[in-house]
Amino acid sequence: MHIINPGKKLKKSIMKTIEDINKKIKKGEAVVVRADEMPDIFEEDPKKATEEVDIVTTGTFGMMCSSGAFINFGHSDPPIKMTRAWLNDVEAYTGIAAVDAYIGAAQISEEKGFEYGGGHVIEDLVAGREVNLRAEAYGTDCYPRKKARTTLTLEGVNQAMLFNPRNAYQRYNAATNSSDAVLYTYMGMLLSNKKNVNFAGCGEINPLINDPEYRTIGFGTRIFLGGAKGYVTGEGTQHNPKAGFGTISVKGNLKEMSDEFLKGATVHGYGTSLYVGIGIPIPILDEDMARRTAIRNKEINVKILDYGVQRRDRPVVREVSYEELFSGKVELDGKSARSSPLSSMKISVKIMDRLKEWIENKEFYLTKPLETLPRDTTVKTMKPRTEVPFIDDVMTKKVITAYPTDSINKVSMLIVENNIDQVPIVDEENRLVGIVTAWDLTKAIATRKRRLADIMTKKVITSRKGEYVDIVARRLGKHQVNSTPVINDEYKVIGIVTSSDINKVLGGGRR
């Protein structure tokens, strides 16, 4: 048997437990630093950093969909079993019990649409403002009331718990748009032709990125949530640790929270959401944890995805570090595009400071999670029963076209003889140069114009081979046109699709 020389092997490595750290908090001796301060401290002396730093505070403040609150309104007399309920005209889900409801951040107001939603209701409640409740019911022997209207405040309800099934993404892919139309997405406004890049997440100060192996974060971890103490309730939905995109679900008492750290949001052309402030204290148990919390923005990479392609798996334009994203400029195809975060660094820093203050004031102690977050799950996709057809399967392949030099008379004849509403105008090589509709011809007669080139629409709404019918349908609606020529990569016309062709396949019923 080989005997190891203990003097040589056991070079004492630093180990701390959560209990050790809590004792230090109690004595007012715990050393707390912010996640953005840790990299320099660690780089200077890893051993010393591990020994001296007890806690690193992390923080994030961003729009987090998959947030909402459970509220119990209390019983009225006679009582009601709500089947539908609205808070300030935003519908809350009542299918859980008679007077319990869940108000979701992304639910929009029936009257104000995107300008007000569930996120705003939560902000109003937390700010102490009055909120209108309207409820309907079918009536039962035990709950005879069928309608109820009242005004309530957060103070007046029984319980209000913020319960967010998916928050605090470890990191998030950035977004750009290669198409020639402006897009309004949940990643904000994406200008055409890759002129800007929007990104989410706070990089090196993000909670999960500072403990990527989830050694200290899991069910039961006490955290900063919306200005109060809250808890991690486990992995979040779409938790994708294998790809480095972990999420958490969180819970906290809404009554203790502050509207400084919970704010409603409107994403133009997309919907509503809630800005949520989350801070997680990371205990420095050993050198591994110290090293993890010393991560810098330049070491965190994400992909820039092209939202111009409206598919689930969007093409990757390039990889980028948070350092480059935060610089305000990102290079795309040799050109410089402006970049914007969608999360607030200023408030995230405030969260890290607040958490630090709590710990230093002995108001906040660390917890050991009962179970840590899973590290081996991946995200599944939805497989709808019906496949969405491609535009190639729906379009008319034999297209009636005309040349710019053709007479208005000739095109009028084409429209009448073929019983169509529009004629794409092409050059000698069948490349699209314009489109003429029956209405254009009527206008030509009224204004006495003779040449087709003078009356055709040159900026044509086109569709491309291989696009999904749903995407083309949305484009027709957005631009209020009835048809679109389908072109290939060489801009040659290979088909034409009308809204009635699309209606035939999409139909109005269930899919």
Partner 1 sequence: MNKYILKFPSEVVASPVLAETILETGTVLNILRAKVDYNEGTIVISVLGDEEKQKKVVEILTRKGVEVSKLRKGIINEEERCVDCGACISVCPAGAISFDKDGSVKIEKEKCHRCGVCIEVCPRRSLSIQEI
Residues from 308 through 347 that contact partner 1 (CB under 8 A): 328, 337-347
Omega prior to 78 cis, within 30 of 0: yes
Torsions phi, psi of 480, nearest 5?
Answer: 50, 50
* 189 touches partner 1 (CB under 8 A): yes
- Contact between 108 and 269 (Cβ < 8 Å): no
Work out which of 222, 251, 263, 292 binds partner 1, going by CB under 8 A.
Answer: 263
Within positions 347 to 366, which residues make up the interface with partner 1, using CB under 8 A? Answer: 347, 349
Amino acid occupying residue 58? T
Q: Is 275 in the site for partner 1 (CB under 8 A)?
A: yes
How far apart, in Å, are the Cα atoms of 372 and each of 59, 165, 216, 266, 376? 19, 16, 7, 34, 12
Does the footprint of partner 1 cover residue 266 (CB under 8 A)? yes
Residue ranges in 38-97 that form contacts with partner 1 under rule CB under 8 A: 61-63
265 binds partner 1, rule: CB under 8 A: yes
Catalytic residue among 3, 10, 142, 446: 142
Distance of closest approach, residue 471 Cβ to partner 1, in angstroms: 23
- Out of 268, 311, 318, 335, point to the residue binding partner 1 (CB under 8 A): 268
For the window 107-126, what string marks contact with partner 1 as x by the rule CB under 8 A?
Answer: --------x-----------
Contact 476, 391 (CB under 8 A): no
How far is 420 from 36, CA to CA, in rounded Å? 64
Give 39 or 188: the residue with its C-beta nearer to partner 1.
Answer: 188
Do the Cβ atoms of 122 and 162 come closer than 8 Å?
Answer: yes
Is position 483 an interface residue for partner 1 (rule: CB under 8 A)? no
Residue 341 Cβ vs partner 1, minimum distance, rounded to whole Å = 5
Which one among 32, 267, 435, 452 touches partner 1, defined by CB under 8 A?
267
Of 196, 210, 422, 437, which one interacts with partner 1 (CB under 8 A)?
Answer: 196
Note whether 169 binds partner 1 by CB under 8 A: no
Q: Does 35 bind partner 1 (CB under 8 A)?
A: no
Beta strands in 439-510 (DSSP E): 463-464, 483-487, 493-498
Verify binding: residue 498, partner 1, rule CB under 8 A: no
Question: Could you confirm whether 142 is annotated as catalytic?
Answer: yes
Which two tokens mark 1? 């048997």
- The residue behind tokens 């019906």 is 386
Question: In the complex with partner 1, which residue's Cβ is closer, 231 or 275?
Answer: 275
Q: How far is the CB of 118 from partner 1 (least distance, A)?
A: 14
- Residue 197 binds partner 1 (CB under 8 A): yes
- Among residues 240 and 340, whose Cβ is nearest to partner 1? 340
Residue 287: which residues within 8 A CB-CB, separation 6 or more?
Answer: 13, 14, 46, 47, 50
Window of 185-193, 224-232, 358-366, 483-491 that interacts with partner 1 by CB under 8 A: 185-193
Q: Following DSSP, what letter does each residue of 137-201 receive, concatenated?
A: ----SS--B-EEEEEE-TTTSSEEEEEEEEE--S---EEE--SSS-EEETTEEE-STT-EEEE-S
Q: Which residues contact 286 (CB under 8 A, 6 or more apart)?
A: 13, 14, 15, 16, 50
Residues making contact with partner 1 (CB under 8 A): 61-63, 115, 188-189, 191, 196-198, 263, 265-268, 273, 275, 328, 337-347, 349
Residues with catalytic roles: 142
